[in-house]
Amino acid sequence: MNKKQRLVMIGNGMAGLRMLEHLLKLAPERYEITIFGAEPHPNYNRIMLSSVLAGGADMNEIIINDLNWYKEHQITLHMGHTVTQVDTGERKVVSDQGIEAGYDVLVLATGSNPYMLPLPGADKEGVIAFRSIRDCQTMIEASRKYSKAAVIGGGLLGLEAARGLLNLGMEVSVVHIHPYLMERQLDETASRMLQRELEKQGMKFLFSRHSEAILGHRRARSLTFAEGGRIEADLVVMAVGIRPNVELAKRAGLQVNRGIVVNDFLETSTAGVYALGECAEHRGIAYGLVAPLYEQGAVLAKRLADVPAEGYAGSVTSTKLKVSGVDVFSAGNFREQEGTRVLRYQDELEGTYKKLVIQDNRLVGAVLFGDTSDGAELFSLMKKGESVQGREKELLLGVPADALSKGPGSGRLETMPEDEIVCGCNGVSKGTIVQAIQEQGCASVGQIKACTKASGSCGGCKPEVEGLLRIYAGEAALDVKEGICGCTSLSRDEVVAEIKRMRLMTVKEVMNVLGWSTEEGCTKCRPALNYYLGMLWPEDYVDEKESRVTNERFHANIQKDGTYSVVPRIYGGVTSPSELKKIAEVAEQFEVPMVKFTGGQRLDLLGIKKENLPKIWEALDMPSGHAYGKTLRTVKTCVGNTFCRFGTQDAIGMGIRLEKEFERLNTPAKVKLAVSGCPRNCAEATIKDFGVVAIDGGWELHIGGNGGVHVRATDLLCVVKTEDEVIEWASAFLQYYRENANWNERTSSWVERVGLDQIRTALESKEERAALQSRIRAVLDKTTDPWKQILSQPELRKNFEPLNREEVSRAGH
């Protein structure tokens, strides 16, 4: 038996791991693999960091290769190890923790470092980049203590950082050296359209500004400009570019320019040493987009497996992005210059823009804003370099109708080249997807996702994946509804119907009877089943605490350091001197590190040890604000006509009544309400799950709003005259949502999915509203404040012992 060669890879990121995935398929027994990764995490999708910052994903959701993957492939992984020495003579590497590893083949996948402007004060606390999980954690921590942030850099990364900080409740100013945003990806017209959309979301912009210094004692407090003036900033995020991480290669004596110089087979100047990804420089270019890095990985994998292959010839790049909820695409040379013709289409009503640049009858550049569905076809034409003479109008206005006979986009997808990247997040080409369908028998989008990872990250390519499935699977394509999780192929509606039909009464029973593929289920399906059972059988079902997530088991929000956050309920944001005094006394008694006003007009006591939670609630003697669960969170109010000269109704009274009516209500996802006392809408009722806006002689009722990652304004449900009618319609709407939404589906997504007309039809009958109100009342009559129940049963206090290491680790993620 041949002895395995030793392959050591420095870097545990997306480019290197994609190369290893290819290599393990081509030559699974050839190498004994060791990886050194500087971060204390397995391989994760860096593209999704903005989702983590914005709260749309957690660490587990962006991991590409979990620890089990490394074990399954017998890969030795040293997480949290920075390699400090490469000895190319002895063929060994040494980490900062003293670990040595000899190699026969060395792969450098060290990525890049964020560029930090050398400003006076750049070393102060609160000045960071946006490049890693740790940076996300730093921003989240800062948002809890400080209110104002400055992001230097108006490119993609800077805008994603700004969007995340807005979601964290900070006031954000984006400082850009250029006159308009994303100048490398967009022309000025598209950029101004993007700017208007982002300003609606709350971003502020300062253009043509050169940052001069960061002021403050130990921590950043303000940012000054060479042109004069300053802005307050407790947090300064630099997003001004990246530089290939080449220091280790330099010390090892490898040829380095901007990046580590490699040839067409990713070989460096030293035998046995290869480089790929953002640290590599090929033909004078260091790429920062994921698609070229994955193309490099495919070439290197074949080289290391001794599989004949053409070398890497460089990449023609395109950019298809979703910037804070807005789709943009650009490719090629989209600047106007001598010898070019420019075609434009702009629709301000729909918020779309299209620009094509043609030279010598060939498409050489394109910019799309708002609707990027034609991006792949346009990019393909650029790479082919074929003439578009006579087709200009067709390309500008869209694909002819006869090309859509097989479904949306099918004509374009059929002519798409095999090497065209469909899934940019994971670098999956059309050819790979077609191969999965034709050779591996994938007959559904879910199977394609499992096989190739296409559509497995942001999901933006799912329509293209579905289109390819229709074309290449034909009648064999399965119209599979994605299951509620990977443990079952059953949809939410199918699971609920079977629970009803067979009167299943426990989570375990549902899993056994309905044929779950995993015995214990997972973190997605267990909480969902627990909710569905409680929703269907409110009188008989006993809530399974073990099926709830950590926050809901302990009725408090776990923080990254393992402490907890306690939020007592303050109805409508209205409190009293005695209540404030009580909270202050409890905070002093238990030495609470921080007391903070929340965005929902309440007080948050942060930094509490788990074992102190019962004592604190006992001392507070206040109901829980349920800031941790899928329940009614808050009812935000303005002062209404009680004090405001513009108020037309009693917003405070209405808000308190709604909050007392629905507190403790379990829902598929968190629910937030608001009541504004006049159409000026100071309580922001039109971005809440259920919003009430006072008008002369009545109330407007709004539904399906969201102020989170994907901002959505509400739809007007109806107008009513009395407070009793507000309660009636709110009860009916919330119960209809409870009975019909998927687990973890916010009302904003649910309303878009089922449609406003269906909801109006379901609630238009007074008898049906009364029936829904009766059902929600029956549920609420059974609920009690969780802490009253815990405090009254000494045996439940035993659950509140100090955190163990595993819980602290989970909290850190």
**Is 579 in a helix, a strand, or coil?**
helix
More confident residue, 451 or 502: 502
pLDDT of residue 722 exceeding 80: yes
Mean pLDDT for all residues in the chain: 87
| Residues in binding site for [4Fe-4S] cluster | 638, 644, 678, 682
If you search the block for the tokens 């159409």, which residue do you land on?
679
More confident residue, 526 or 240: 240
- Predicted confidence band of residue 321 (pLDDT cuts 50, 70, 90): low
What value, to the nearest 5°, has the Cα angle with vertex 162 and ends 156 and 163? 90
Does the predicted model carry a pTM greater than 0.75?
A: no
The 3-class SS string of 704-747 reads: CCECCCCCECCEEEEEECCHHHHHHHHHHHHHHHHHHCCCCCCH
Give the whole-angstrom CA distance, residue 454 versus residue 426: 7
The superfamily in CATH containing domain 631-784 is: Sulfite Reductase Hemoprotein, domain 1 (3.30.413.10)
The pLDDT tens digits of the residues spanning 125-183 come to 999 999 888 898 899 889 889 999 999 999 988 998 998 898 788 899 999 999 999 99
Choose the most confident range, by mean pLDDT, from 313-327, 426-440, 443-457, 492-506. 492-506
pLDDT of residue 805: 43
More confident residue, 459 or 732: 732
Nearest Cα residue to 110 out of 52, 35, 31, 33: 35
Cα-to-chain-centroid distance, residue 365: 30
The pLDDT tens digits of the residues spanning 444-500 come to 887 888 788 787 665 667 778 888 888 888 888 776 556 677 688 788 888 999 998
Hey, where are the domains in the chain? 5-112+244-304, 127-240, 492-548, 631-784
pLDDT of residue 403: 41
Give the whole-angstrom CA distance, residue 156 versus residue 194: 11
Per-residue pLDDT, averaged over 225-236, amounts to 95
The CATH class of the 127-240 domain is alpha beta
Q: Residue 101 phi/psi, 5° resolution?
A: -145, 125
Q: Residue 562 phi/psi, 5° resolution?
A: 90, -5
pLDDT of residue 366: 93
Choose the most confident range, by mean pLDDT, from 401-415, 427-441, 483-497, 643-657. 643-657
| Residues in binding site for siroheme | 682
- In the chain, % of residues over pLDDT 90: 48
- Predicted confidence band of residue 56 (pLDDT cuts 50, 70, 90): low
Give the whole-angstrom CA distance, residue 785 versus residue 635: 17
Element (H, E) at 171: strand 171-175
Q: Which two tokens stand for residue 321?
A: 């992005």
Interacting residues of 578 by C-beta distance below 8 A, sequence separation 6+ = none
The CATH class of the 5-112+244-304 domain is alpha beta
Quick one: CA torsion of 174, 179, 180, 181, rounded to 10 degrees?
A: -50
| Residues in binding site | 638, 644, 678, 682
What value, to the nearest 5°, has the Cα angle with vertex 495 and ends 552 and 732? 65
Intrachain domains 5-112+244-304 and 127-240 with the same fold: yes
Give the whole-angstrom CA distance, residue 648 versus residue 216: 45
